[in-house]
């Protein structure tokens, strides 16, 4: 701008100051810059944009943290809720608390639900899923105390009874005789065996589910307070007649083999010199010459205290001993034997074995088989 040199010096200075304050831009151009008192921008005709700050501003884009939770709105998916941000714990509340884009997926307050196949209200502890509290999932329950999820009658509310499968109906970890809650109406009656020697007291009865422990099927104990005293000579519990069916395999009679079956008896007497004696007759079929051939066996033996018997047997056709004049009672002439044992169920089982050779070869017999008798 041209200023006349004829103006006084003070006037020239004021004009210069006005001209200098009219343009705050920094651009260099051929045109005249347009100034603004706000100081925001000024554009020269040369096309350069000034980045002047307004009232001391920096000129950068600003972000906010409206809920003051330490996370800006750029990463906070709900900047109006301080409980929702990338560092929050996910909860079952229908909100994406941790801003991972999924609602309630890894919530810290999820619970386990258990499969209830038998629909008795109790679940299988080995079959579970995760869910939020209050979620209703068909076929699943919150309880996990079912010990047999295939049977609706077996659960903590079940009724313990004696059964063949030894089940734990009330899921308390105890079964039948070990469970004090077992229904007594389902129990059987046994002879008491308080000394646990396997033999019961005939004068004392107890109830339970199974044989064992203090329960015995037999009544053979002489002193149930002493396990070293069972069925022995002090009370002679075996005395009497024992009967039962035989089923023997026989071979050698007239060169044939087969079986003989019938019923016989054995007498046991503690006081007798021959404590075990008895006779059994069974018909043995011979296919030629004779329709049936009687096999007559006689037992000779003794009691093996406290629980067994033993001895030998002879047969009625004593041709061999008659021809030689040998004593038929001499067991050394008969390669035969029997052994027996009294069992807890009150039976006596004899096992007969052996063979008898005939001098003339017309009658050789070998015999093998069990004989179960009851008192």
Q: Per-residue pLDDT tens for 154-173?
A: 999 999 999 999 999 999 99
Q: In this structure, are residues 326 and 333 in contact, taking their beta carbons and an 8 Å threshold?
A: yes
Per-residue pLDDT for the chain (375 aa), expressed as one digit of tens each? 343 444 444 443 444 444 444 444 444 434 444 444 443 333 444 444 444 444 444 444 568 989 898 999 899 999 899 999 999 999 999 999 999 999 998 899 999 999 999 999 999 999 999 999 988 899 999 999 999 999 999 999 999 999 999 999 999 999 999 999 999 999 999 999 999 988 899 899 999 999 999 999 988 888 888 887 776 666 777 788 988 887 777 766 556 667 777 888 899 887 788 889 988 887 766 555 555 667 778 888 998 877 789 988 777 654 334 444 555 555 455 567 888 888 767 788 888 877 655 434 444 456 566 778 887
Q: How far apart are CA 317 and CA 359, in angstroms?
A: 12
- Domain annotation covers residue 276: yes
- Domain annotation covers residue 348: yes
- Domain annotation covers residue 369: yes
- Domain annotation covers residue 63: no
Please count the other Cβ atoms lying within 10 Å of the Cβ belonging to residue 218: 22
Q: Per-residue pLDDT tens for 90-133?
A: 999 999 999 999 999 889 999 999 999 999 999 999 999 999 99
- Domain annotation covers residue 101: no
- Domain annotation covers residue 186: no
- Spatial strand order in the sheet of 188-192: 201-208, 188-192, 215-216
Which structural domain range is residue 330 located in?
240-374
Q: Closest by alpha carbon to 169, among 157, 179, 183, 154?
A: 154
Domain total of the chain: 1
- Domain annotation covers residue 65: no
Long-range contact set of residues 118-121: C-beta below 8 Å, sequence gap at least 24: 118/146, 118/149, 118/150, 118/151, 118/152, 119/152, 120/146, 120/152, 120/153, 120/155, 121/155
DSSP string, 130-158: EE-TT---TTEES----S-TT-TT-STT-
What's the CA angle centered on 233, arms 229 and 238, to 5 degrees?
A: 95
At 123 the three-state DSSP class reads: coil
- Domain annotation covers residue 316: yes
What residues contact 310, with CB distance under 8 A and at least 6 apart? 301, 302, 304, 337, 338, 339, 340
CATH of the domain at 351: 2.40.160
The answer to whether the predicted template modeling score (pTM) of the entire model surpasses 0.85 is: no
Q: How far apart are CA 344 and CA 199, in angstroms?
A: 6
| Omega cis (within 30) before 306 | yes
């Amino acid at each position: 701008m041209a200023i006349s040199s004829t103006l006084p010096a003070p006037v020239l200075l004021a004009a210069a100051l006005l001209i200098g304050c009219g343009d705050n831009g920094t651009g260099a151009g051929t045109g005249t810059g347009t100034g603004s008192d706000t100081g925001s921008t000024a554009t020269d005709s040369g096309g350069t944009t000034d980045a002047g700050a307004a009232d001391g501003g920096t000129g950068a884009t600003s972000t906010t943290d409206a809920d003051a939770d330490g996370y800006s709105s750029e990463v906070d998916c709900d900047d109006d809720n301080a409980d929702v941000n990338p560092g929050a714990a996910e909860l079952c509340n229908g909100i994406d608390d941790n801003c991972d884009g999924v609602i309630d997926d890894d919530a810290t307050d999820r619970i386990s639900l258990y499969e209830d196949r038998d629909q008795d209200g109790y679940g299988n502890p080995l079959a579970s899923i995760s869910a939020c509290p209050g979620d209703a999932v068909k076929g699943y329950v919150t309880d996990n105390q079912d010990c047999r999820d295939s049977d609706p009658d077996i659960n903590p509310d079940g009724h313990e009874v004696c059964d063949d499968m030894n089940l734990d109906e009330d899921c308390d970890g105890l079964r039948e005789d070990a469970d004090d809650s077992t229904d007594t109406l389902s129990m059987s009656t046994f002879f008491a065996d308080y000394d646990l020697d396997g033999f019961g007291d005939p004068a004392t009865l107890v109830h339970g589910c199974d044989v064992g422990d203090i329960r015995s099927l037999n009544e053979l104990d002489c002193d149930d307070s002493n396990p070293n005293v069972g069925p022995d000579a002090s009370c002679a519990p075996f005395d009497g007649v024992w009967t039962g069916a035989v089923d023997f395999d026989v071979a050698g009679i007239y060169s044939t083999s087969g079986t003989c079956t019938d019923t016989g008896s054995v007498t046991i007497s503690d006081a007798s010199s021959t404590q075990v004696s008895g006779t059994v007759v069974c018909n043995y079929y011979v296919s030629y010459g004779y329709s049936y051939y009687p096999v007559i066996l006689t037992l000779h033996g003794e009691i093996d205290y406290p629980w067994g018997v033993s001895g030998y047997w002879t047969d009625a056709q004593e041709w061999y001993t008659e021809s030689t004049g040998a004593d038929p009672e001499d067991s050394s002439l008969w390669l035969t034997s029997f052994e027996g044992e009294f069992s807890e169920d009150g039976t006596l089982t004899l096992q007969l074995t052996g063979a008898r050779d005939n001098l003339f070869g017309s009658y050789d017999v070998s015999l093998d088989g069990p004989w179960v008798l009851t008192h």
